[in-house]
Amino acid sequence: MKYYSTRDSEKKYYSAPEAICKGLAPDGGLFVPAELPLISKKEMEEYRGYGYERIAAEILYKFFPELGKAEILAECEKAYRYPNFDPTPAPVKIVDDNAFLELWHGPTCAFKDMALQIMPRLLAMAMKYCGETRVAHIVTATSGDTGKAAMEGFKDLEQTRITVYYPTDGVSETQKRQMATQEGSNVNVIAVRGNFDDAQSAVKAIFADEEIKRIAEEKGEFLSSANSINIARLVPQVAYYVSAYIDIVKSGLIKDGETIDVSVPTGNFGDILAGWLAKKMGVPLGKLICASNRNRVLTDFFITGVYDTRRPFYATTSPSMDILIASNLERLLCFSFGTEQTAAFMKSLKEDGSFTLTPAQLDILEAEFGCSSCDDQSTAEIIKRYFDDFGYLLDTHTAAALMGASRDKCLVVSTASPYKFAPAVADALGMKEKTHEALSKHTGTQIPAPLKDIYKKDIRFTRVVDKADIKKSLYLQ
Ligand SMILES: *Cc1c(COP(=O)(O)O)cnc(C)c1O
């Protein structure tokens, strides 16, 4: 299994552990596998009898064979088993002919846990394989959910430490509280005045900065990333599409082998890309519907072939999708059109803030992807209607995905507990009081245990910096 950079026309090869340790390729591109492993019909049959952690281990081993099958399985068991996750880590709920894949039964109640509970363990294994003795300093920008989930994954993990930057704008109160109360001796949290793209651009600049590299070296550290640019962050997400398909067939909603469309609430394009990879590997999935909110840069891209970030940024009730630069799209471009074309697109994106597909290229993507966009008002209406009609409570991101769902049966990826976005969900239901307790009483649903706990914990992190000071803040107090 070899990996190369999405921007490298020479296709210099890296081993899986090297790609995992580096995170980002030296030329600024993302690592992609030279060849996609396949899942045979026979393997799918076998997986039917497996628990989630075993399916995950099978998929991970296909991509990262150097790490060892038994070793990967042992780590998956630690990551995905109760009490870290609920006893069923990624359940499918059938409501109104849709299959909701609930990916929020982990320690932070959002789907980022699916990858970030295992990714730090994969990184530790890769470092051992590569003979890496330095400390991996994880630096990450978050639109809310990633940072918390990353810190939960890395906290007190040997030979690692983590610094998380989050924007003051567009992060919910619950998310802020979750981050400010984070435990662990190797974690640091810094708020940035601005929006997610400001924070993400600054973190990207940190990775390209020679001075920072030098300071890190002096401290016996190297910088790495937990954002979905790391291949070890992306691959674990393939597993839940495999388990979901098996569960949907078991539920009787579709017959074995029948395809089903998938609607994915999309921000950085990691989740939906994992779904596309699962499809390419052999899981019978139909169209992948890229669901956006009012920040519809991807929706417009799939309709017109023009990816244009020169547009206003909106803070919405689904903040984890408030993104104008979707990093993982670069991997799709590379798989579809090759490294040279991808490098040209990325150059254009950097210089002009946009790039444009040819009509033939757009046709290729349109054969695989659908798209939709949902404003805050429609999001609220969907939450209300679904609760009134079916008694099923959606969070704002999942509601936006439902907007894009095919009229027939659809697999809808549910990415957050409604409690994580309680004020917006309570608003949608016409409630006056917007607390977790009020939402629980009104809907007869349970507050997830990890969210109850944050109000009992002490605030540990209060630092706020300006955009311009992000670089300095990494090593200077
Ligand atoms: C991160 C996130 C998304 C977007 O996922 P991407 O992989 O970035 O596209 C959607 N919903 C929630 C709740 C998230 O936390």
pLDDT tens across 333-388, in order? 999 999 999 999 999 999 999 999 999 999 999 999 999 999 999 999 999 999 99
Q: Is the CB of 322 under 6 A from ligand 1?
A: no
In the predicted model, what is the mean pLDDT of the chain? Answer: 94
Whose C-alpha lies nearest to ligand 1, atom 11? 415
Q: Is the CB of 443 under 6 A from ligand 1?
A: no
What is the phi/psi pair of residue 93, to 5°? Answer: -115, 125
**Residue 88 carries which DSSP code?**
S
**362 burial via Cβ count (<10 Å: 0-12, 13-18, 19+):** middle
What contacts 24+ positions apart, CB below 8 Å, involve 12-17?
15/66, 16/63, 16/64, 16/65, 16/66, 16/67, 16/126, 16/231, 17/64, 17/66, 17/67, 17/125, 17/126, 17/127, 17/129, 17/130
Q: Is the CB of 287 under 6 A from ligand 1?
A: no
% residues pLDDT > 70 (the chain): 99
Q: Is the CB of 124 under 6 A from ligand 1?
A: no
Q: What is the pLDDT of residues 186-201, one digit of tens each?
A: 999 999 998 877 888 8
Q: What is the model's pLDDT at position 407?
A: 83
C-alpha 190/C-alpha 63 separation (Å) is: 34
Whose C-alpha lies nearest to ligand 1, atom 14? 320
Q: Does an H or E element contain 366, and which?
A: helix 359-366
| HEC readout, 133-151 | CCEEEEEEECCCHHHHHHH
% residues pLDDT > 90 (the chain): 82
Q: Is the CB of 267 under 6 A from ligand 1?
A: yes
Which of 272, 276, 397 to mutate to test ligand 1, by most ligand atoms within 8 A of the CB atom?
397
pLDDT at residue 455 is higher than 90:
no
Which atom from ligand 1 is nearest to the alpha carbon of 398? 11
Distance of CA 308 to the CA centre of its chain: 22
Q: What is the pLDDT of residues 207-253, one digit of tens each?
A: 889 999 999 999 999 988 766 789 999 999 999 999 999 999 999 99
Architecture of domain 232-448: 3-Layer(aba) Sandwich (3.40)
Q: How far is the CA of 62 from the centre of ligand 1 (A)?
A: 25
- DSSP readout, 39-74? --HHHHHHHTTS-HHHHHHHHHHHH-GGG-HHHHHH
pTM, whole model, 2 decimals?
A: 0.93
Q: How far is the CA of 223 from the centre of ligand 1 (A)?
A: 24
Which atom from ligand 1 is nearest to the alpha carbon of 415? 13
Q: How far is the CA of 145 from the centre of ligand 1 (A)?
A: 8
pLDDT at residue 22 is higher than 90:
no
Whose C-alpha lies nearest to ligand 1, atom 2? 320
Which atom from ligand 1 is nearest to the alpha carbon of 395? 13
The region, left, alpha or beta by phi > 0 then psi within -120 to 50, assigned to residue 359 is alpha
Q: What is the model's pLDDT at position 477?
A: 58
Helix, strand, coil percent values for the chain (each to nearest 5): 50, 15, 35
Determine the 3-state secondary structure of 4 from DSSP.
strand
Q: What is the model's pLDDT at position 319?
A: 87
Which of 101, 104, 145 to mutate to test ligand 1, by most ligand atoms within 8 A of the CB atom?
145
Q: Is the CB of 148 under 6 A from ligand 1?
A: no
Lowest mean pLDDT among 66-75, 142-151, 259-268: 142-151
Q: Is the CB of 112 under 6 A from ligand 1?
A: yes
For 452, the token pair is 């109850």
